[in-house]
Structure 1
Amino acid sequence: MADNANWYVVHTYSGYENTVKATIEKYVENRNMRDLIHEISIPMETVTEITDNGPKDVERKVFPGYVLVKMVMNDETWHVVRNIRGVTGFLGEGNKAIPLSEDDVAALGVEKREIVVSYQLGDTVKITEGALESFLGTVEEIDLERGKVRVVVSMFGRETPVELELDQVEPANS
């Protein structure tokens, strides 16, 4: 069943996102629907606001009025989510909810894909895609949280640091 699960965008009244998320989670628990409704997410971003007291980091909703739900779409799950107080409907055409594509999900950063890194600091790696494809460089920094790696590449006789996605490089000996 989990293979049928897709991410759907649920439209809510502005300010009701957290309430809708909590209510869906409660329904899932009470009705034992964990196999049908897998995950509920409200995409957030951290923004630095400058106030009289200095800079302050604040969590803010990326899409106010929207909640993302990973679920198996059927009549039961559609009705459960659609009839929650604060929900105005699914993103889609008429009463037909349209799932997000894999690319959309990746761009939103909702589902973290685990990338196994087979290189470490100081290793020589080969860039596998992008403008510097097939260039060799040395790993200077690995940031697993952001999914980035900084590689120092020698171009035109100069050492140039380049930031890439973790999966854009591979060990040079492969």
Structure 2
Amino acid sequence: MSRNPCSLVLLAHPDPAGSRVNSALAAAVCDLDDVTVRDLATVRRAGGFDVAEEQRLLVEHDTVVLQFPWYWYSVPGILKEWMDHVLLRGFAYGSEGTKLHGKTLQVVTTTGGPGESYQPGGYNRFTMSELMRPIDATAHLCGMPLAEPFVVHGVYHLDEAALAEYGARYRALLTGDEQRATA
């Protein structure tokens, strides 16, 4: 399969330095050619985000990766704020908001609970696909196909070998080596 020409990874963790798993995942892909990792916690200013800069980066990349820890069945506040400021009518949606049409939206998220807890009848009652419907709706509104989410469950119990394997799978996902990414 062909390689994704250019991916923008938006790391949306309020404390990336304090995050063992999200930091390791970002570190696993930051040296890839044609991958830009943008830590939203470090680029957010007192007044919010530089909308023109964020929109410029979106236009320049073919795949937009939202990487974040799953917080209260949604995205963290910093990512919601980024969406509110950057995905504006006339840019991302609306009759003239076509700048993101055809770009791929890829979700990379981590959960504290095990995968089986995200099932009907499980602890969290719903599947991740069901819980991600607002992200799917956002992608649709922006004219972006939503790729199969890359979910790392049970992060509190991952040993270093498992974390390294997830990092390798994430690299494979962004380089287009799907066989390795799904192994």
Same fold (TM over 0.5): no
* TM-score, scaled relative to structure 1: 0.24
Task: Name the one with the larger strand percent.
Answer: 1
Q: Which has the larger radius of gyration?
A: 1
Task: Name the one with the larger helix percent.
Answer: 2
Larger RCO of the pair (alpha carbons < 8 Å, separation 6+): 2
* TM-score, scaled relative to structure 2: 0.23
